[in-house]
Structure 1
């Protein structure tokens, strides 16, 4: 019990970005297990639309995985010191695991158009935002190729959630909507642009009236 108390205290003292990153990694590893076991997508109930968004990044993820495996094999041959080799091997295996876990989190945590008309926008275990149905002024298919990081917010309140250097859906909101960035800071968005592999199906589902 004392040991657990110490862990909780240490966790509470850790900076918020560190706690967020560790939580992301744990959820990603759990998603890898869900993916391997072919469990249903996370957070998708019956009658709700699960919208995938991994299309633009799948080839890149598998390419990165291939490069990591080649690097692991090459370093095992080139490094002559056993102790250094073991450390590098552990780091390489960890890197491969994280690449797989990140992709698995994206596959098993799709966007969701819920039965009440709300939309859950996600990127793996890193980003999760629920947009209430009444907050959506309009939704349209709108392919763009913005530059920047995964989560980018402009000065005029346009939030881009970029996958494979593109977005395909634009939501115009009728009020500012607060959201949490991956490392824990808070901000507000008036417009949200994100990627869906089948943007027309997602937009059509959003435009359907919510069941009474």
Structure 2
């Protein structure tokens, strides 16, 4: 990919999270049509985001005091600090206003304003609650993860692969998608119900409420 294309994609991403700030303030969601179900995932990172925001605000005030006698430096640092705070809040706003969306035919999985994976319900072989802590070494070529707070909680296995496009345009063909939902078991039940409504036959229904205790390596261990 050329540097120009990468820069354009980054600029478009920044524009999307700026837009998300406005939608967040207005308490509206992007791309959720009537009759579709929103599956939120931003809650898992909220504490971290607000903690970072608070730390940045404290730093801004502290630097303002230290640089009070240096007007130019103070203004530059003030701009940087304010932009940093808005960036952090913008990423959270993008996650809040762009939830996963379950429709009658398609499950759309989102990663804030960074990317979206469209999965036709007819291609879903199974969907299950599956809490995992993510690690780069555990990934292989046909698995993609949309982790939040370093974890995923739902695994979708596909009968046919789908194409996932990353922020900078890298394309990957995947047969397994792991994502996080704040109410993971509710999300699993909703997807299964949507599949049943259109005549799908999802497996993985045995012991759907069984908890999985995550290992640090990403592989769950079933508790008896």
TM-score for both structures, normalised by structure 2: 0.82
2:144 aligns to what? 159
Q: 1:15 is paired with a residue of what secondary structure?
A: helix
Picking from 54, 59, 71, the partner of 1:71 is: 59
Which sections of structure 2, spanning at least 5 residues, go unmatched? 200-224
**Residues 141 and 174 of structure 1, relative CA distance in 2, 3 Å threshold:** same
1:23 aligns to what? 12
Cα distance between partner residues in 2 of 1:187 and 1:14 = 20
1:200 aligns to what? 185
Instruction: Give the Å deviation of 1:194.
Output: 0.6
8 Å CA contact 1:153, 1:160 repeated in 2: no
**Number of residue pairs the alignment of both structures matches:** 195
Which sections of structure 1, spanning at least 5 residues, go unmatched? 1-12
Q: 2:41 is paired with a residue of what secondary structure?
A: coil
1:140 aligns to what? 128
8 Å CA contact 1:174, 1:190 repeated in 2: yes
1:5 aligns to what? none
Show structure 1 runs of 4+ deviating over 6 A.
none
Q: Does 1:97 align with 2:86?
A: yes
1:113 aligns to what? 102
TM-score for both structures, normalised by structure 1: 0.86
Instruction: Give the Å deviation of 1:86.
Output: 0.7
Let me know the Cα RMSD of the aligned residues. Answer: 1.8
Cα distance between partner residues in 1 of 2:190 and 2:138 = 26
Picking from 103, 111, 114, the partner of 1:126 is: 114
